[in-house]
Amino acid sequence: MGDKIKINSEHIKELENEAIYVMREVAAQFENPVLLFSGGKDSIVLVHLARKAFWPARIPFRLLHIDTGHNFEETLKFRDELARELDVELLVHYVQDSIDKGRVVEEKGVNASRNKLQTVTLLDAIEEIKADVAIGGGRRDEEKARAKERFFSHRDEFGQWDPKNQRPELWNIFNGRKLMGEHFRVFPISNWTELDVWQYIRYENIKLPGLYYTHKRQVFKRDGLWLAWAPFMELKPTEEVITTDVRCRTIGDITCTGVTLSKADNLEDIIAEIAATRSAERGSRHDDKRSEAAMEERKREGYF
Amino acid sequence: MNEQVNHKEVIKRDPLSGNGRNKTLLRFTTAGSVDDGKSTLIGRLLYDSKSIFEDQMEHIIEAGKRRGKQEVDLSLLTDGLKAEREQGITIDVAYRYFATPKRKFIIADTPGHIQYTRNMVTGASTADLAVILVDARNGVLEQTIRHSYIARLLDIRHIIFCVNKMDLVDYSEDVFNKVKAGLDKLIAKLDIDNPSIIPISAKNGDNVVDRSENMSWYTGKPFLSQLETVEIIKDKDLENQRFPVQYIIRPQSDKYHDYRGYAGRIAGGNFKPGDEIVVLPSMLKSKIKSIDILDKSFEESKIGDSVTITLDDDIDISRGDMIVGAGNMPNIGQEVKMIICWFNERPLRERSKYVIRHTTSEARCIIQSIDSKLNVNTLEEDYEDKSIHMNDVARISVKTTRSLYYDDYKVNNTTGSVVIIDEATNETVAAGMIQAE
């Protein structure tokens, strides 16, 4: 497959150069960085970029996974293997612990999701491990509040984002200065689109969890979206679980990760599928459908 | 913001057919006032280039209905924050992405109102091209001058003036020519090299993606094909080798025990193994041994590449140092003149101290003098009024605690730019373009 496709794309190269530059700025400007790793393709690409940025040295970041407990098993296996291979420390913080401690209350009803609860676990983790920066795979093309994000995004001592009062970001000079207790979120692939990410994965031959490729899965349809079914999920009376060929377009908490009916089993077909698709990537994220400003509100509170 | 469009009339084209081919990246910024139709123009580009997904489209149709609008308002596509949607204005720089078979585009969409000059400066700092909207009914206004001046100040080499709302002047060639005459004067005054002036109607799509049937008198390219084909003359210095050291790579592993690499992004010229270089500030000479990136070594690397350089000799080098070609030294000094745009509510004061960031180095600085203030609407320079407030542009002289290794901004945008930071609040309070002798 690799021989057939010859990607010689200047724009992908430029995006890579930019992302590597940002990674190195993080290492230079902060003392205790963590890389937010979910096992999804964007965070896998981040890890790959970090390897490139610091080779032959080890990645100077610890990986942090906020585990909702509602994962695809394969993602966890992939995560553990990657951390071992890179010889970096993997920190896992559990939403379940936040629930047990009474820091958050589990949502109820058919649309219950732990996705929003992650914010509290994430902010607690950042405080506990004294991270002064968390690198994330957020992209500006994902969602309209994200379109306003900086590469270096300041968070106050409560972990909050103040989108109306952000630091201007000029050229490639990034201002990561902060006061005690504040932290930064850094988004090295801000300028990438979903298609750029997939082209880069093909270009660099990056290994992904099999969930991104076609596989048989039990799914059901809700509000026009196909969702993966798991035994703990409540169904509405009209909803029916069927088994069919699907692949994940994004991977996150099972309760809000949509799947696409697809038989694409290689990167070339996936790219063709994404290029032809007429719905947004986050359109398959059930959590964004909650309101027009759902993402902005979560981000203000300190979400990824 | 009240520009509306019947989306069914929009002609679609498939941008992804060239998927996988070599595409270049064009970064551009857009400027225009609240009612110039800027959001509508961007919405149309995104929509006509199929960068808007069906579910996003449904979303704005729904949102429009809730606000009692009959037709689809494309400007709703670009308002990111709740406050922006509520107030119908753009507050902050927003970044948009779209692609055609020829290019990938990154738009820095900036609000054009005077109190947002700082946002326009921010958007312009990374742009190769600026799009400036002019209302056909009004012609050149103060804001047109301001937007053009800022684009020039930030050294943007291409400007496209879109004379919008041609539908409201009956697509009249005479009206367009009058506006064009005003723009030509401005272009001459600001010494703009590669301007284009295109009559459009963002609302109806005339000359945006497809050639307008309503303006057969216009023989130039429609807006999108101009964006696709304009040759990008980046203000990149291809001659003078500049490598600001960002980070030191020392694996200290068994396999790479003695490896000592200097990580950074090439800011000028090309580097090859064997090149003779000088390290600043130590002035020590050496040769490039290898240029590495992830277990590959390169014969050559060019401006913009993020690489790791190793040298023949063991030299003490740290972040903020600069590796330059032997024989083409930058300016070195602690007293620097620059043009700044002030971003902060607290005004700039002579004799105040700030932190200054330049490439990968940081120093403290004192504002020695405010030399003049530029009126960005009239282009007059004021040597008396030295009160510099938010959005003001001024010439200043600073003295730094350690030497900077710099070039004139027009020679090298990377080694010629700085940001100024307030030590107490850590806010970025100014952007500066260095004026070397």
Residue A293: its chain B contacts at CB < 8 A? Answer: 82
Q: Does B253 touch chain A (CB under 8 A)?
A: yes
Query: Which pLDDT band, with edges at 50, 70 and 90, does B220 fall under?
Result: very high
**A240 phi and psi angles, rounded to 5 deg:** -130, 135
Residue A47: its chain B contacts at CB < 8 A? Answer: none
Residue A16: predicted pLDDT: 96
Query: Which pLDDT band, with edges at 50, 70 and 90, does B231 fall under?
Result: confident
Residue B221: predicted pLDDT: 95
Q: State mean pLDDT over B118-127.
A: 90
Residue B97: its chain A contacts at CB < 8 A? Answer: 140-141, 191, 193
Query: Which pLDDT band, with edges at 50, 70 and 90, does A225 fall under?
Result: confident
Q: State mean pLDDT over A126-151.
A: 90
Interface ipTM above 0.85:
yes
Fold topology of B331-434 = Elongation Factor Tu (Ef-tu); domain 3 (2.40.30)
Query: Which pLDDT band, with edges at 50, 70 and 90, does A5 fall under?
Result: very low
The partner residue sitting opposite A163, judged by closest CB among B20, B81, B252, is B81
Residue A116: predicted pLDDT: 76
**Mutate: best of A23, A142, A171, partner B, most B CBs <10 A:** A171
Residue B99: its chain A contacts at CB < 8 A? Answer: 193, 195
Second-level CATH architecture of A10-196+292-301: 3-Layer(aba) Sandwich (3.40)
**Interval B11-70: pLDDT, tens:** 233 333 344 456 788 999 998 766 778 878 888 888 777 766 666 666 766 766 666 665
Residue B20: predicted pLDDT: 45
Matching CATH topology for B242-325 and B331-434? yes
Cβ–Cβ gap B95/A191 under 8 Å: yes
Of the listed ranges A134-143, A220-229, B71-80, the one predicted with least confidence: B71-80
pLDDT greater than 70 at residue B8:
no
Q: State mean pLDDT over B302-317.
A: 94
Q: Does B53 touch chain A (CB under 8 A)?
A: yes
Q: CA triplet B286, B287, B292: central angle to 5 degrees?
A: 125
Report the candidate in B435, B360, B359 with the shortest Cα–Cα distance to residue B398.
B435
Q: What is the 3-state secondary structure (H, E, C) of chain A?
A: CCCCCCCCCHHHHHHHHHHHHHHHHHHHHCCCEEEECCCCHHHHHHHHHHHHHHCCCCCCCEEEEEECCCCCHHHHHHHHHHHHHHCCCEEEEEHHHHHHCCCCCCCCCCCCCCCCCHHHHHHHHHHHCCCCEEECCCCCCCCCCHHHCCCEEEECCCCCCCHHHCCCCECCECCCCCCCCCEEEECCCCCCCHHHHHHHHHHHCCCCCHHHCCEEEEEEEECCEEEECCCCCCCCCCCCCEEEEEEECCCCCHHHEEEEECCCCCHHHHHHHHHHCCCCHHHHEHHHHCCCCHHHHHHHHCCC
Going from the C-alpha of A209 to that of each of A39, A42, A247, A251, B28, the distances in angstroms are 8, 12, 11, 10, 36
B60 or B331: which carries more pLDDT confidence?
B331
**Interval B76-110: pLDDT, tens:** 666 666 666 666 556 678 888 888 888 889 998 88
Cβ–Cβ gap B253/A57 under 8 Å: yes
Inter-axis angle of helices A267-276 and A194-204, to 10 degrees?
Answer: 170
Of the listed ranges A225-234, A294-303, B398-407, the one predicted with least confidence: A294-303
Q: Does B89 touch chain A (CB under 8 A)?
A: no
**Interval B379-437: pLDDT, tens:** 889 998 889 999 899 999 999 999 999 999 999 999 999 999 999 999 999 999 999 97
Q: State mean pLDDT over A201-213.
A: 92
Residue A17: its chain B contacts at CB < 8 A? Answer: 265, 304-306
Cβ–Cβ gap A168/B63 under 8 Å: no
Cβ–Cβ gap B293/A178 under 8 Å: no
Q: State mean pLDDT over B330-348.
A: 95
Could you tell me which chain A residue has the CA closest to the CA of B93? A148
Which of A271-280, B63-72, B176-185 is most confident?
A: B176-185
Calculate the CA dihedral of residues A220, A222, A228, A232 and round it to 10 degrees: -90
| The two structure tokens encoding residue B51 | 């960068």
Inter-axis angle of helices A41-54 and A194-204, to 10 degrees?
Answer: 50
**Mutate: best of B109, B155, B306, B319, partner A, most A CBs <10 A:** B306
Could you tell me which chain B residue has the CA closest to the CA of A54? B249
Domain boundaries, chain B: 7-229, 242-325, 331-434
Report the candidate in B33, B348, B265 with the shortest Cα–Cα distance to residue A171.
B265
Say if CB A281 and CB A142 are below 8 A apart: yes
Q: How far apart are CA B312 and CA B422, in angstroms?
A: 40
**Mutate: best of B81, B119, B252, B406, partner A, most A CBs <10 A:** B81
Domain boundaries, chain A: 10-196+292-301, 209-288
pLDDT greater than 70 at residue B278:
yes
Residue B7: predicted pLDDT: 33
Cβ–Cβ gap A56/B295 under 8 Å: yes
Residue B25: helix, strand or coil by DSSP? strand
Cβ–Cβ gap B265/A17 under 8 Å: yes
Query: Which pLDDT band, with edges at 50, 70 and 90, does A146 fall under?
Result: confident
pLDDT greater than 50 at residue B10:
no
What does the mean pLDDT of chain A come to? 85
Which CATH number describes the domain made up of B242-325? 2.40.30.10
Which CATH number describes the domain made up of B7-229? 3.40.50.300
Residue B129 CB neighbours (<10 A):
24
Residue B323: predicted pLDDT: 97
Could you tell me which chain A residue has the CA closest to the CA of B412? A171
